[in-house]
Structure 1
């Protein structure tokens, strides 16, 4: 087997920055926007698909003439799944001319970046699922919310498990703790019993103590709020230690890219709950997946709610900029905050508050993908 690899200019710049080498700025030719993602660290499993999806959106927008006749330029930063690094990268994107930065990162990075750029007139758009809050005129958080995800999944999952005992396990930072706080409020209203709660730092490799605690609790369902590589490692160890024979898993942030790392043997029993899956059967999604494969090839990482959301966010921002007839952060944010948007996942509604309304789907892992999708009536 012979492997030939090329490093493009963006890849070379990334390598230089990771080595602490200066990267000379380039002159802008159009409207610059930033994308802050986790190219490295435990969140890196879904970063490539997210960058691809944003790149596809920019290409489509530029094929339509861009914004007021000028092209859209996408600059990418790597937070390394670390909030402090994320803040430095976000400031670099702003210095390069980005007045809007899309974040496909952990909530911990979002909070740190938001604080670091508080005195700057920069629009931050968190694209993927989050706990809500922390918004103002120049802070928009899209994606699924924990209360809606849990309300959608609770009853059918307890029916599938044949039990009502839940164990909460996740990484020790804002989003997992917020999801588990929502679980304590939502799940008992559906008759669930909470039997345990444990956390581990990002980058943990040995989850045996937590799995032992799950087994001892007699849980029927594990709410897995680990992310990226941690989520994959946790599920593999659950399978290896025999937990899958005792309990199902609900993993809101375990997407298709992460599921590939879990492996087919450990996948049965894992469930996802989100507004988008790659195998969602809609005409808009069929077209998106086809265009994605045509652009990035059959072996590109799969789309998921964590990556497809960047495609939606860039298109949403562009539609708002065209309506506002400017790319200034304030007017664009005002246009983005209210309205209905038709995307491959279906209709997404922003009502001017912190809430994002969309249909949720509960899906079971089948090898390296999720399916079939079970639509639910409530939106979040």
Structure 2
């Protein structure tokens, strides 16, 4: 991904700015989502500006690359805080980056983490606005048990906190059901050795599983899907992912998406008026941020769930204080109880856990068809 935006904005501070560290990945496996998340954040900022700003202040993003070493990401945020250069933090990034950022924020400014995650985050001033495993994964597996008679699953994920925490939460959520996790295999972020993927797939086959739960990120999910299709496993083994969006499906290719199910709050194919409004605004923002195509055409991909959660995270951050500038105290109050309307429907934040409408979609080539609401 091109690295054209400076991480530290050297523009003189303005008392009319609300300065947000926007932490998005520009490299690594999650870098595939960076452009769409940036466009979605700019759309939210433009809408906030039109509505009067944040207590009259203009949203000003200070861009931070969240795709590198988590400790370095945390150090960058700390440097901005120590310099008095930011008023808040938000963005879509991986949970290992969230943990590093939460350690340095420590109640100094509000921080909205805009991604589905493993649950359990309770650091001071941190609001997690994304889906959690019980709603997103367990409900979907129960639906697949009823509709497709799938009971035996094998987990393949990246080796960091979100996949491991999500796998553990899923096992707990499946207790007292007849749905079983037969095994797990966790691979390093950025695995590009075909032999490693082949060994993981051989383990999947030996397990006798009916389905694979993919807890893989971005380009790693693309590599896995392609290897899965190349071995012809998609004809007999179902895949399910809570962390795949339209971008990953498109990159995987039509030959690698048979029997692939995905769950999320948002899909570009949702038919509501709010979904259509967001999709239209996202396309305009993407073209403005990344360069428009020919007149009358858009270069924008379908808006994925990573983009929609980024958009909602920026709005949540701006809204928690009402008519004043958001503070840590506002984040603490919202942690206990808050609600907002997202493009995919109403979301309730209760004791730090965001409850979303959750839909399940099935891949059809490089498109996703929403087939049910599971929560």
1:122-271 matched pairs, under 5 angstroms: 122-159=109-146, 161-205=148-192, 206=194, 207-271=197-261
Q: Is the 8 A contact 1:99 1:329 kept in 2?
A: no
1:363 to 1:72, Cα distance in 2 relative to 1, 3 A: same
Contact 1:228 1:254 in 2 (8 A): yes
| SS of the residue 1:348 aligns to | strand
Correspondence list, 1:1-380, <5 A: 11=4, 13=6, 25-29=10-14, 30-94=17-81, 95=83, 97-118=85-106, 121-159=108-146, 161-205=148-192, 206=194, 207-297=197-287, 298-323=298-323, 325-335=324-334, 337-351=336-350, 353-376=351-374, 378=375
Question: How far is 1:122 from its partner?
Answer: 2.1
Of structures 1 and 2, the one scoring higher in RCO (CA 8 A, sep 6+) is 2
Q: Distance in 2 between matches of 1:115 and 1:13?
A: 23
Q: 1:332 Cα deviation (Å)?
A: 4.7
CA contact (8 A) 2:234 2:257 kept: no
The answer to whether the 8 Å contact 1:81/1:106 transfers is: no
Distance in 2 separating the partners of 1:124 and 1:242: 44
3-state SS, counterpart of residue 255 of structure 2: coil
Q: What TM-score does the superposition give when structure 1 sets the normalisation length?
A: 0.88
Distance 2:9 2:188 in 1: 35
> Which blocks of at least 5 consecutive residues in structure 1 are unaligned?
1-6, 15-22
TM (normalized to structure 2)?
Answer: 0.89
The whole-number CA distance in structure 2 between the counterparts of 1:155 and 1:327 is 39
Q: 1:336: Cα distance to partner?
A: 6.2
Distance 1:197 1:115, change over 3 A: same
Q: 1:315 to 1:24 in 2, by over 3 A?
A: closer
Paired residue total: 358
Assess if the C-alpha contact under 8 Å between 1:161 and 1:221 holds in 2.
no
Report the Cα distance in structure 2 between the residues aligned to 1:75 and 1:301, rounded to whole angstroms.
25
* CA-to-aligned-CA distance 1:59-109 (integer Å, 9 cap, x gap): 111122212322111121102243123213323443362121113111111
Q: 1:373 to 1:86 in 2, by over 3 A?
A: farther
- Between the aligned partners of 1:12 and 1:198, the Cα distance in structure 2 is 36
Pairwise CA distance, 1:363: 0.7
- Shift of residue 27 of structure 1? 1.2
Farther off after superposition, 160-169 or 38-47: 160-169
| CA gap 1:331/1:186 in 2 versus in 1, 3 angstroms | closer
Runs of 4+ residues over 6 Å off in structure 1: none
Cα gap change, 1:181 to 1:237, in 2 (>3 Å)? same
Q: Could you say what the CA RMSD is over the residues aligned between the two structures, in angstroms?
A: 2.0
How much has 1:159 moved relative to structure 2? 4.8
- Stretches of structure 2 lacking an aligned partner (at least 5 in a row): 288-297
